[in-house]
Homo-oligomer: A and B are copies of this chain.
């Protein structure tokens, strides 16, 4: 009985969403290169240190990758399947990157929806960090594909009751087309644009501005903004 308790390494992994070039992207780092020279991308993460709290570890990882000190991060789930770090390739990488005989590894996953500038100030151990469109995610090590999938499920659950979080990803002034593309990416489905316009019209906190796009080849679209004050009227206060 006594020998049966888990004694494990613990890591943090960060799912950082950013909306750039009208696409929903996730920040990935390069773990190494496989035999065929294909990039081996994964979620940014790290084992946590002996005297470190998990939240601090997540902030450290993102600081090293982006140069941003206090990025808004939300812990969303601990992934602890006994099999999650048993793929031989992953075991081998852990041996080299950290230390041998990591028999089990649980991870605490974080979500960030902050506006992140493309100009990343990477001081981490990773050679390459880059934005990857959510529609073009590669097969990643460990259970990182599952973590991304569940982070999208989590976001959809938040949106059901708190649509404000969508606007954390958009610039202050945005077009309905951008909002539409963002919703399509989060829900991973085509959304009829006419119905979508009706939905947005029913959101009193999405306010039309007088301003329109400039220097575009197509018809200049109107800009909108998210009105937090109007939005907060939805909240149930007791």
Q: CB-CB < 8 A to A10: which residues of B?
A: 6, 8, 10, 80, 106
Query: How many monomers of this chain does the complex have?
Result: 2
In the complex, chain B residues whose CB is within 8 Å of the CB of A234: 161
Distance between Cα atoms of A50 and B83 in the complex (Å): 11
Select the stretch in A17-25, A51-59, A65-73, A219-227 that faces chain B: A51-59
Q: A5-B99, A8-B10, A10-B6 are in contact. Are A50 and B187 (CB under 8 A)?
A: no
Whether A161 pairs with B4 at a CB distance below 8 angstroms is no
Q: What string of 1s and 0s marks CB contacts (under 8 Å) between A78-113 and chain B? A: 101110000000000000001100001010100000
Q: A10-B80, A54-B80, A106-B54 are in contact. Are A161 and B235 (CB under 8 A)?
A: yes
Report the minimum CB–CB distance from A171 to chain B (whole Å).
Answer: 20
Size category, A interface: 35 or more
Complex interface bits, A136-175 against B, C-beta within 8 A gives 1, otherwise 0: 0000000000000000000000011111000000000000
Please name the residue on chain B nearest to A186 by beta carbon: B238
Contact A196 B161 (CB under 8 A): no
Is A127 interfacial (CB-CB < 8 Å)? no
Task: Please determine whether A7 and B5 come into contact, CB atoms closer than 8 angstroms.
Answer: no
A191 contacts chain B at the CB level, 8 A cutoff: yes
A183 adjacent to chain B (CB < 8 Å): yes
Instruction: List 7 interface pairs A-B (beta carbons < 8 Å), by A numbering.
Output: A5-B98, A6-B10, A6-B49, A6-B52, A8-B9, A50-B82, A161-B161
Interface residues, chain A, with chain B CB atoms under 8 Å away: 2, 4-10, 47-55, 75, 77-78, 80-82, 98-99, 104, 106, 108, 159-163, 183, 187, 191, 196, 199, 234-238
